[in-house]
Amino acid sequence: MRKALFFFSLAFAMVCNAQNNTVDEVIWVVGDEAILKSDVENARIDAQSMGQRFDGDPYCVIPEQLAIQKLFLHQAAIDSVEVSDADVFRSVDMRINSAIQNIGSREKLEEYLGKTMSQIREIWFEQGKEQELVSQVRSSLVKNIKVTPAQVRRYFKDLPEDSLPFVPTRVECQIVVRQPKISQEEIDRVKNELRDYTERVNNGTSKFSTLALMYSEDPGSSRQGGELGFMGRGSLVPEFANVAFNLTDPKAVSKIVESEFGFHIIQLIEKRGDQVNVRHILRKPRVSDEALEKSIVELDSLADEIRKGTFTFDECTQFVSDDKDTRNNYGIMVNPEDGTSKFELKNLPPEVAKVVANMNIGEISKPFVMTNTKGKEVVAIVKLRSKINGHYATMKDDYQTLQDVVVGKLSEEKIEKWIREKQASTYIHINEGWNNCEFQYPGWIK
């Protein structure tokens, strides 16, 4: 029956593609699922649009990846695994935005893939749904893997030190930030620029997207003509979201909106349920050299008073700092990657990393200028709370790191064992042209 299905699928694919004057064929069959030559080519093109690279010949790597995926999808069907369409749509929007950023524009992406944006979204939705199903099956296979300290100790017992995971230098920092005052004249200058852009769009002399490309100071969207991609209200700062979600006319330009990032004008592209896609132009008022110097002098005097014991650093973070993200946490910086206060130097803002790299524990820095997460110039001082120099992991100080390595290794082994077992019990047919590939799992060829 399965062989009959294979030959029917092959004939069907070749007939359908002959009608479209294209050459295609079934190159693999895994269970009851066919992998077409066009599937491989499309996956290669998609990967290139995302800037991905392959470890080996893509025409061997990709079919194997697709075949492995079909094994997991078959298991997902057996287990009746379900995924949320809303979650898939969000991941598709992120993928599209990333691809546009790599390619350069929405139009270039459509040209590169040879499809309209609606077609791309539809295809990537199906791919995203399958990827989420695969992810859930993988997670269910390894969810019960747990290790004891004794197992971790045994795993690393006989390994030489230089084979152990290396834990990079990690630091904890407190920060006090001062936002230099921006003059009203500078604010008026920026608003007048935005009013000029609005007038140029309204009178038809310029396109909003062109002005965004030329003048917007949001590096993440300016290259896409200011387009942000579909976002929920919670993904946008409140002031921006309130205006964006109330727009109804795609030809209109919003009033000027002030946010913690600067000043914006917004244009609606499309609404879809609880998400909106808009383009915007961001302009940021400039801090004058005089205002920066004034804040540097203020923080320099404050740091001296802390060193003398007049105030504590903790007190200053609560009553002096303008950084709302750290002010109520005694100035302790939080690593967005893991939610802890520990940072590798590479994950700190570059200006902070440069300052703390040669500081001693408990030392307070000189004031320095930095760009905060909102893209604004601020002045800061930091205190180094703790520092653990880079070292090879030990059971005493880095148990979690070592435990994660062992769990990861056992999970990988279980997934590999499962794939090999599924290979042995699943009907697989591969065209002769792929028999010379070096596969990660050699059991494909029987």
Q: Give rounded-to-5 percent helix, strand, coil for the chain.
A: 50, 15, 30
Q: If you ran DSSP here, which 8-state letter would residue 227 be given?
A: B
Same domain, 141 and 17: yes
Domain annotation covers residue 157 = no
Domain annotation covers residue 426 = yes
Same domain, 262 and 302: no
Give the CATH number of the domain where residue 10 resides: 1.10.4030.10
Last residue of a domain, one of 283, 298, 323: 283
Q: Give the residue ranges of the chain where pLDDT is below 50.
A: 1-22
Same domain, 113 and 94: yes
Q: Model pTM?
A: 0.65
pLDDT in tens, 295-327: 999 999 999 999 999 989 999 998 899 998 898
Domain annotation covers residue 412 = yes
Same domain, 300 and 176: yes
Domain annotation covers residue 402 = no
Please give the tally of structural domains in the chain. 3
Domain annotation covers residue 326 = yes
Domain annotation covers residue 161 = no
CB 129 within 8 A of CB 83: yes
Give the pLDDT score at 23: 61
Same domain, 420 and 434: yes
| Rounded Cα gap, residues 357 and 169, in angstroms | 10
Same domain, 136 and 262: no
Same domain, 97 and 198: no
Rounded to the nearest angstrom, the gap between the alpha carbon of residue 42 and the centroid of all alpha carbons in its chain is: 23
Domain annotation covers residue 292 = yes
| Rounded Cα gap, residues 401 and 197, in angstroms | 52
What does the mean pLDDT of the chain come to? 88
Same domain, 122 and 197: no
Domain that holds residue 176: 167-181+288-392
Same domain, 126 and 14: yes
The secondary element (H helix, E strand) that includes residue 269 is strand 262-272
Last residue of a domain, one of 228, 249, 283: 283
Last residue of a domain, one of 258, 283, 308: 283
Give the CATH number of the domain where residue 258 resides: 3.10.50.40
If you write DSSP's letter for every residue of 91-155 in order, what string do you get?
A: HHHHHHHHHHHHHSSHHHHHHHHTS-HHHHHHHHHHHHHHHHHHHHHHHHHHTT----HHHHHHH
Same domain, 269 and 326: no
Same domain, 177 and 239: no
Same domain, 258 and 362: no
CB 71 within 8 A of CB 139: no
Domain annotation covers residue 309 = yes
Residues 20, 26, 31, 32: what is their CA dihedral angle, to the nearest 10 degrees? 30
Give the pLDDT score at 373: 84
